[in-house]
Structure 1
Amino acid sequence: MQVKKYLVLVILFILPIVAYLFFASGVNNFGKLSMLTKGVDDVATMDSDVTFKDKITIVGFLGSNPENKNGNAFNLNQKIYKRFYKFKDFQFVMVMPKGTEEQAAELKKELGHLIDMKKWNFVFGDENQVKDFFASLKTDLQLEDDLSTSYAFIIDKDLNLRGRSEGEDEATLYGFDATSVSELNNKMVDDVKIILAEYRLALKKNSADRQK
């Protein structure tokens, strides 16, 4: 009976502590999202009302025919935006060519039937501005002729492109294919969680350091 008593105590008290320490260690050691490109251009140069600074941003390119990318926008809205938009410093930015303002407004209205779209931003630039901004990401991807891409990107608060380096994935993962629900579910959701946790941990650490 005495042995059983100690066994119950171990299960109830010791194992949860061990499990906590294991997972806490995992977060500290592995809870970092790779920095793939430092200092990308800020979209504030195209629209002074929108900036990457101090925001965790999901960036997309819907092109001059955004209706062709409605499925991508819907997938991102359902799988990523709805899940994370309530985080204070989180936002979406869609970079589009000038002349697509009406289509962008219509898309935002369409996507916003069941959710607050205040953190969905559209930024408009001329062809060179869109191309120059995309080039600043320094990826192995290319824009299509209409200045669109199916890929969405994670930019951190210090204007760095974040993703998975070679070895963490089959190849360096600069962006996430928004045509693939499984990629959004299995990779992008996890990576957004990691970067949000990274900033929360940093905030807690800074707060604890100030209180010492």
Structure 2
Amino acid sequence: MKKTFVLAILFILPIVAYLFFASGVNNFGKLPTLTENVNDVSNINGNVSLHDKITILGFLGSDIENKKANTFNLNQKIYKRFYEFNDFQFVMLVPKGNEEKVAELTDELANLADTSKWKFVYAEESQIKDLFLSLKTDLALDENLATPYVFVIDKDKNLRGRDEDEDEGTKYGFNTVSVADLNNKMVDDVKVILAEYRLALKKNDPNRRK
């Protein structure tokens, strides 16, 4: 009898522990909010908004030719993996006057994936700077109004990131130059925020899949 009891405990405990930790990830895993109420791009372009969307926000700048590698990294590692999720978009701020360069870039991206979730917003210098400053990060735009970093914005226009990153402390954005940063950190964080919203949707509508 004692042997049976011991064997049962040894068999059941690992299962209980697994269910406990799995439940913890699903119920309590949440990407920290670093900045609330980021400026909405709808103030610049009324056809695009951060509200009610999970957004990857970037600042492409005017030197688009030299930012193609960054964009392709982001497209291959993040966009192609997640773009089919509902309410998910990529928004890139670009200085006015670069429409033709962006058209060329979009054509190249279209050879790699459906580009319907890529949104390019053309803005004045002051508008780009104001939006970037509203993120309240420790990063800066370069002389072309660009940064290699992209940012995760939730449906309430809050900047999400890591407040206890092992390398950076507070991690506001993800470096598109670094495939390792995209693969090892950004993929995980996008999964977390999508899971957070999917869980909320399932609670409200059990029949909704994404």
The TM-score with structure 2 as length reference comes to: 0.89
Sequence identity of aligned pairs in percent? Answer: 57
C-alpha displacement at 1:86, in angstroms?
0.6
SS of aligned partner of 2:147: strand
2:109 match: 111
* 1:34 paired to 2:25: no
1:22 match: 21
* 1:97 paired to 2:95: yes
The letter for the 1-side match of 2:62 is S
Residues in 2 aligned to 1:207 and 1:81: alpha-carbon distance in whole angstroms = 26
Tell me how large the CA RMSD over aligned residues is: 2.1
The TM-score with structure 1 as length reference comes to: 0.89
1:148 match: 146
Equivalent pairs counted in the alignment come to: 204
The letter for the 2-side match of 1:176 is F
The letter for the 1-side match of 2:192 is I
Residues in 2 aligned to 1:145 and 1:168: alpha-carbon distance in whole angstroms = 28
Residues in 1 aligned to 2:172 and 2:182: alpha-carbon distance in whole angstroms = 13
2:77 match: 79
Unmatched 5+ stretches in structure 2: none
Residues in 2 aligned to 1:163 and 1:129: alpha-carbon distance in whole angstroms = 23
2:121 match: 123
Residues in 2 aligned to 1:20 and 1:108: alpha-carbon distance in whole angstroms = 45
Residues in 2 aligned to 1:46 and 1:63: alpha-carbon distance in whole angstroms = 16
C-alpha displacement at 1:88, in angstroms?
0.7
1:157 match: 155
Q: Deviations over 1:59-79 (max 9, x none)?
A: 111111111111110000000
The letter for the 2-side match of 1:155 is I
The letter for the 2-side match of 1:109 is D
